[in-house]
Amino acid sequence: MSKKLLTESTVIPYLKSRGLIDQGSMPEVEVLTGGVSNIVFAIQQGVHDLVLKQALPELKVKTLWVADQRRAIVEARATQAYQKFTPKSVPNLIDYDPNEFTLVIARAPRRCTNWKEDLLAGNIQVPIASQLGEILGIWHRESAQDRALLAEFAEDSLFEQLRITPFYRAIGKVHSAIELRMSALIEELGTNKSALVHGDFSPKNILVDNDEKVIVLDFETAHTGNPIFDLAFLMGHLLCKFFYFSAKEQQEKIFQSAGSFLVSYENTFGAKASPTLIWHIAAIALARVDGVSLVHYLSEESRIDLRTHALAVLQADTPTTLAGLFKR
């Protein structure tokens, strides 16, 4: 059963009831936009900058997309876990309420920029991608050695709701020619559950500080699963950006970012990614034009080009190379 959602007028009394704000204070409240799965408020009280998130029972997309609100509890616990692995790259968890499906984190410095917006503006810094590969490699390497942590996140129905169904199954239904390929990729994800997987490792969830240090957000899809998904999810977004740009210089920087990310990850994790990564990347990118959660920055021509290219990659007998994937 879904909970009553907080509003600008009720969020402060709620935080006071949790002991997070002084009873006599009247902090500033700002509604943050951009996400589809949570109500998000920024609260400033003196030197304290907080962000409160409350999980929505239905995601804000055109197609009906229902998701269990208990993902807020998953996000809170995952934030704590990842914070231990890379404390400078994950915000501090201040509070979480499993009854109201809320969590409160420390707000990142306001000087930070959003990596997705940086990329779309043509500000493509390859070292950022390399740093992200190192962070993800640490997460996967360290979590793979923590049996208790993997056991805690072993239940993955949220991943089915938020990723498998709206991405892999959705495009398999739209394009019957790749339905068997999608089934094989889903099986691959389900049979290798060896690390704590972020599940939403995308540019929109990455903040860049002015010293080029990154902060990763949004851990509600974290689960014990196949590490290949996190690689594919980020690189699928980069492939969409590749098709967004028409200039060769920007396309080349996106390709370099994808390659640098993968090399940095493999060096840190200590193993090469499976060749099927290419198919997963193509599937994620295709889902952004034909699935449930669509990108809004691609022109119709770019959407058609990306669809045609991704389908050709997914129908090939063997995976292409990274250079073969990032081409137009």
- Check which CATH number belongs to the domain holding 77 and give it: 3.30.200.20
Domain membership of residue 204 (yes or no) is yes
Distance, in Å, from the CA atom of 328 to the CA atom of 319, rounded to the nearest integer, reads 17
Domain membership of residue 141 (yes or no) is yes
Same domain? For 199 and 172 the reply is yes
What CATH number does residue 140 fall under?
3.90.1200.10
Same domain? For 76 and 49 the reply is yes
pLDDT > 70? residue 30:
yes
- The total of structural domains in the chain comes to 2
Same domain? For 213 and 143 the reply is yes
pLDDT > 70? residue 208:
yes
pLDDT at 64: 38
Same domain? For 144 and 234 the reply is yes
Domain membership of residue 224 (yes or no) is yes
Distance, in Å, from the CA atom of 89 to the CA atom of 316, rounded to the nearest integer, reads 38
Same domain? For 129 and 270 the reply is yes
pLDDT at 1: 45
Domain membership of residue 99 (yes or no) is yes
pLDDT > 60? residue 2:
no
pLDDT > 70? residue 264:
yes
- Percent of the chain past pLDDT 70, that is, above it, reads 94
Residue 199, domain extent: 113-325
Domain membership of residue 63 (yes or no) is yes
With beta carbons less than 8 A apart as the criterion, state whether 225 and 155 touch.
no
- Sign of the Cα torsion 289, 292, 296, 300 reads positive
Same domain? For 128 and 242 the reply is yes
Per-residue pLDDT averaged across 85-107, rounded? 91
Distance, in Å, from the CA atom of 86 to the CA atom of 141, rounded to the nearest integer, reads 12
Same domain? For 86 and 195 the reply is no
Same domain? For 286 and 233 the reply is yes
pLDDT at 62: 43
Domain membership of residue 229 (yes or no) is yes
Same domain? For 279 and 178 the reply is yes
Residue 316, number of CB atoms within 10 A of its CB: 14
Q: Among 106, 125, 158, identify where a domain stops.
A: 106
Distance, in Å, from the CA atom of 104 to the CA atom of 106, rounded to the nearest integer, reads 7
